[in-house]
Amino acid sequence: MIKCFYINVEKMSEEPIFLKSGEQKSIKETPGKKFRLMIKSKNLEAIIAEIQPHASSRWYKHTGEELHYVLEGEIEYEVGDKSFKLKKGELLWHKSNVKHRAVNHTDNIAKYATVGTPPTFIIE
């Protein structure tokens, strides 16, 4: 059972926020992709992305910077004219003002965590 709930950013304090397995703020599903917004504050957001085999995210370009950490499977992450093949346990950081996207060329589902600042991904 997946639990979704809203974290009121205005009421956030200095206290840590703890999410149990299966909990997230919201989910956005599109063909071949699932994005789970885990936390979103005024300064950053954390998303768990799931890309189906032979699918890709759309191209993004916005302010800020991002960090991607592969949790399961393999992805190719394209940033501008560069391409990075990431496997489980590998990490990529980049400026977000360069067009970027994730591609799964494999026959297996790929999952990765993305942390971005400032928060720009709209899935609420």
CB 97 within 8 A of CB 63: yes
**Which residue, 62, 66, 72, 123, is CA-closest to 97?**
62
CATH classification of the domain holding 31: 2.60.120.10
- Note down the domain range covering 91: 25-113
| 8 belongs to a structural domain | no
CB 68 within 8 A of CB 50: no
Count of structural domains, the chain: 1
> What global pTM score does this model have?
0.83
- Lowest average pLDDT, out of 11-15, 46-50, 53-57, 91-95, goes to 11-15
| 98 belongs to a structural domain | yes
Which pLDDT tens digit goes with each residue over 25-68?
888 888 999 999 888 888 999 999 999 999 999 999 999 999 99
